[in-house]
């Protein structure tokens, strides 16, 4: 269907449904040159639900006032499911921004009409089971976008874009060319841009000198429970491991192609008396292919809920991030790094540039050196000066601190 045909269809819909409904259709036009215009038309049933949910949204907004009930409104278009296996940066950022006074709407990837359209999960934070078009009643909204969901910019009316550049583009699964196009579009159109690693900042600085360095952070009080030893007993699936009374070397997070399975296998062989515990999903099927489960002192405990991680962390003697070193991991800001620090666990990593910026980490460049650094880390478990360094670094890198920095920039420049 050519552009003229599309316009005829739209004019017919204007005549049929009236201006207010047709306005929502026009507002979905991709903000690019005419030759690239794309129009997404949703079903009549979906449109009816959109209109109903817009009334609910208006009532929520009327209950609150800017300057009193909230500082600003931020909409998170669909990205990650709120209850995904790994609680990641978008969810953490939504929580922290709401805690610091923003009114946040986090839209789930798929509308679910069987659920309450706007579920209040924290003060000022709504989990939204609605179609994105519901938010077309907002004029000039602030929206939070990532490299791979840039297409949602076209479904808001004159949006102000907060682009969170969280990883090297090659780290994302899916259509690489679409990711590149989305990244370039957001670099040009975003009102505010965040980058989680110094390598990413350097990459975009010439085009966007206003880029804000914003690494990942930590929900400090949640993970400091491990440092305070608040848990009276170990998780049931760790008790048999702990009964051997050997040091526990831990890792939690995604297990994927960037995890250095070969390094860990060699280290586990070099240190047969150490117990290596891995927690997290087999993100891309590499765990079983790696052969790591054939090593007798390596244990994979599977996926654990986010809220249970501090309990597991308490029973680690040393925490690790054994990633393959490449352009992707040099530009990675691991969420777990500051969580390990809040739990006051000695940390051993491979030499990734972003993570190496923090003086509390020990660095192993190969299997022999990694094993030696584990030995050293075990000796530092009771080193008060070292543990205080970890604690202070964690406190300087909380999610709340990240959110306040972002809100301050937005308020200064709006």
Q: At what angle do helices 220-227 and 335-342 cross, to 10 degrees?
A: 50
CA 373, CA 346: separation in Å to the nearest integer? 10
Within 281-379, residue ranges assigned H as helices are 286-290, 309-314, 327-330, 335-342, 367-379
For the residues 151-163, what does the mean pLDDT come to? Answer: 96
One domain, residues 209 and 232: no
The answer on 131 and 19 residing in a single domain is: no
Same structural domain for residues 192 and 270? no
pLDDT in tens, 86-112: 789 999 999 999 999 999 999 999 998
Residue 85 has pLDDT above 80, yes or no: no
Task: Tell me, yes or no, whether 229 and 372 share the same domain.
Answer: yes
pLDDT band at 323 (very low <50, low <70, confident <90, very high): very high
Q: Tell me, what CATH number does 332's domain have?
A: 3.40.50.2000
Asked whether residue 64 falls in the same domain as residue 115, the answer is yes
Q: Give residue 58's domain range.
A: 42-213
Question: Are 257 and 323 within 8 A, CB to CB?
Answer: no
Res 173: pLDDT: 75
Q: State residue 63's pLDDT score.
A: 85
Residue 92 domain flag:
yes
70 beta partners = 66
Report the 10 Å Cβ neighbour count for 207: 11
Instruction: Tell me, yes or no, whether 268 and 332 share the same domain.
Output: yes
- Averaged confidence pLDDT in the chain: 89
Alpha carbons 178 and 83: distance in angstroms, whole number: 26
List the single range of 32-36, 65-69, 113-117, 154-158 with lowest mean pLDDT. Answer: 32-36
C-alpha span between 144 and 313 (Å, rounded):
31
Q: Answer yes or no: do 246 and 114 share one domain.
A: no
In a domain, 173, yes or no: yes
Do residues 64 and 25 both lie within one domain?
A: no
Q: Are residues 209 and 270 in the same domain?
A: no
In a domain, 18, yes or no: yes
Would the pLDDT of 391 be above 50?
yes
pLDDT band at 41 (very low <50, low <70, confident <90, very high): low
pLDDT, tens only, 246-298: 999 999 999 999 999 999 999 999 999 999 999 999 988 999 999 999 999 99
Question: Residue 36: which pLDDT band, with cuts at 50, 70 and 90?
Answer: very low
Q: Is residue 413 part of a domain?
A: no
Q: Residue 14's pLDDT band (boundaries 50, 70, 90)?
A: very low
pTM for this entry: 0.86
**Average pLDDT of span 5-11:** 46
More confident residue, 41 or 204: 204
For residue 136, give the CATH number of its domain: 3.40.50
Q: Which of 338, 324, 177 is nearest to 263 (CA)?
A: 324
């Amino acid at each position: 269907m050519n552009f003229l045909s599309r316009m005829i269809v739209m004019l017919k819909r204007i005549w049929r449904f009236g201006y207010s409904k047709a306005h929502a259709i026009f507002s979905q036009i991709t903000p690019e040159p005419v030759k690239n215009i794309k129009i997404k038309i949703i079903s009549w049933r979906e449109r009816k639900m959109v209109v109903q949910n817009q009334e609910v949204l208006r009532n929520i907004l009327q209950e609150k006032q800017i300057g009193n009930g909230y500082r600003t409104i931020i909409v998170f278009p669909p990205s990650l499911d709120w209850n995904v296996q790994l609680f990641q940066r978008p969810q953490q950022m939504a929580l922290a921004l709401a805690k610091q006074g923003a009114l946040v709407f986090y839209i789930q990837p798929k509308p679910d009409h069987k659920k309450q359209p706007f579920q209040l999960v924290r003060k000022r934070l709504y989990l939204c089971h609605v179609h994105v078009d519901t938010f077309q009643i907002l004029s000039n909204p602030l929206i939070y976008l990532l490299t791979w969901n840039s297409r949602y910019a076209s479904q808001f009316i004159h949006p102000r874009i907060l682009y969170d550049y969280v990883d090297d583009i090659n780290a994302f699964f899916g259509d690489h060319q679409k990711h590149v196009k989305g990244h370039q579009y957001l670099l040009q159109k975003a009102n505010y841009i965040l980058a989680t690693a110094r390598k990413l900042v350097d990459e975009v600085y010439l085009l966007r000198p206003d880029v804000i360095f914003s690494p990942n952070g930590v929900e400090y009080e949640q993970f400091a429970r491990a440092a305070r030893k608040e848990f009276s007993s170990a998780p049931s699936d760790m008790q048999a491991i702990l009964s051997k009374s050997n040091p526990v070397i831990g890792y939690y997070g995604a297990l994927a192609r960037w995890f250095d399975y070969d390094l860990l296998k060699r280290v586990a062989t070099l240190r047969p008396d150490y117990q290596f515990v891995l927690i997290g999903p087999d993100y891309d099927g590499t765990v079983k292919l790696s052969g790591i489960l054939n090593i007798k002192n390596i244990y994979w405990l599977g996926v654990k809920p986010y809220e249970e991680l501090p309990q597991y962390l308490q029973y680690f003697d040393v925490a690790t991030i054994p990633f393959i070193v490449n352009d992707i991991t040099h530009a990675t800001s691991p969420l777990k790094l500051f969580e390990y620090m809040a739990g006051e666990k000695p940390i051993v990593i491979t030499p990734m540039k972003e993570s190496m910026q923090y003086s509390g980490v020990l660095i192993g460049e190969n299997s022999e050196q990694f094993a030696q650094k584990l030995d050293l880390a075990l000796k530092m478990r009771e080193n008060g000066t070292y543990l205080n360094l970890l604690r202070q670094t964690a406190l300087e890198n909380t999610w709340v601190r990240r959110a306040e920095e972002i809100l301050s920039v937005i308020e200064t420049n709006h």
